[in-house]
Amino acid sequence: MKIGVLADVHGNRVGLEAVVADGTAGGVDSWWALGDLVAIGPEPVATLELLADLPGVRCTRGNTERYVLTGDRPAPHADDVLADPSLLHLFAAVEGSFAWTRGALASRGWLDWLAGLPLEVRTELPDGTRLLGVHASPGRDDGDGITPHRPEDELRAALDGAAADVVFAGHTHQPTDRQIGPVRVVNGGSVGNPVTDDLRAGYVVVHADRHGHRVEHRRVAYDRYEFLARLARSGHPEVDHIASFQRGEQVRYPARRPGAPTVTG
């Protein structure tokens, strides 16, 4: 039994294709996709078409699914712009990006599918280990999430009531593997929108049988020039901002830091 766990594809089908190819070659037989699947990138529909066709796939919603579906938005909000008019450009960019994604999905009939995604997924491994998959943290699609550096007392509080032995999450785009009391917390990083100095797509594979299990962190290179070519053809209103991630201009964290895992691939 091998479960591929990924998150934060952000409409980057090129990165997703590379992860799926890597996992398939390694014998992955089912998949979890933990939210932020479509927004920001140039291929939201093609991304969902590939995800929905994966063997045994189970998906959760993330905060950006909520933004696409409900009209909720990240900051800055209208009141912020009224207080500081210099934020108008950023406000318009955020609104335009999510509106574009919603329109693309609506035109191909994917909004109902997206609206049906749960907040969490669970399973029990053959050795009895209980797994929980969420986007940010148990019961939440947003917030500080799972990171290498978040204080242990905050993580303990966030994990309270998780009823799981291993919690998998995305949201922060930071590969993480920590033991917090009885609960192991794992973040495989982002498939499609890098914010560490390792620009490759990140995900994890859970290897399991009745004798035990192990979690393997993997990094997969993909053709960023192909991604940029598709982005240029997409008509997305925020091409330059999206491209800046692929150029390494949005790096916020080193790939190696205390609490970050050793990755392979």
Contact (CB, 8 A) for 219 and 265 = yes
| Helix pair 44-52, 88-107: axis angle to 10 deg | 50
Closest C-alpha to 188, from 214, 155, 217, 148: 217
Write out the residue range of the structural domain in which residue 91 sits: 2-246
As beta bridge partners, residue 209 has 212
Among the listed ranges 52-66, 69-83, 122-136, which one has the minimum average pLDDT value?
Answer: 69-83
Query: Does residue 256 lie in a domain region?
Result: no
In a domain, 255, yes or no: no
Asked if the structure places residue 259 within a domain, the reply is no
* 74 or 45: which leads in pLDDT: 45
55 in a structural domain:
yes
**pLDDT tens per residue, range 141-198:** 999 999 999 999 999 999 999 999 999 999 999 999 999 999 999 999 999 999 999 9
Going by pLDDT thresholds of 50, 70 and 90, the confidence category of residue 104 is very high
Sheet of strand 58-60, all strands in order from the earlier edge strand to the far edge: 58-60, 30-34, 2-6, 201-209, 212-220
**What is the rounded CA–CA span in Å between residue 237 and residue 220?**
28
Q: Is 209 exposed, middle or buried (0-12, 13-18, 19+ CB in 10 A)?
A: exposed
* Count of structural domains, the chain: 1
- Does residue 252 lie within any of the structural domains? no
Q: What is the pLDDT of residues 238-255, one digit of tens each?
A: 999 999 999 999 888 876
Residue 260 lies inside a defined structural domain of this protein? no
Task: Give kind and range of the element (H or E) at residue 30.
Answer: strand 30-34
Is residue 258 over pLDDT 70?
no
Closest C-alpha among 52, 173, 42 to residue 110: 52
The SS3 assignment for 202 reads: strand
Beta strand pairing status for 58-60 and 2-6? unpaired
Confidence of residue 257 (pLDDT cuts 50, 70, 90): low
Whichever domain contains 106, its CATH number is: 3.60.21.10
Could you tell me if 172 and 186 are in contact, meaning their C-beta atoms sit under 8 angstroms apart?
Answer: no
Give me the residue label for tokens 């189970």: 58
Residue 34, in any domain of the structure? yes
For residue 68, is pLDDT > 90?
yes
pTM reported for the whole predicted model: 0.94
- Structure token pair of residue 57: 């796939």
Q: In what order do the strands lie in the sheet with 130-134?
A: 120-124, 130-134, 166-169, 183-187, 176-180
What's the pLDDT band for 98 if we cut at 50, 70, 90?
very high
CA gap 53, 212 in Å, rounded: 29
Which amino acid belongs to residue 123? T
What distances in angstroms separate CA 153 from CA 12, 90, 136, 159, 169, one per listed residue? 34, 34, 17, 10, 18
Asked, for residue 264, whether it belongs to a domain, the answer is no
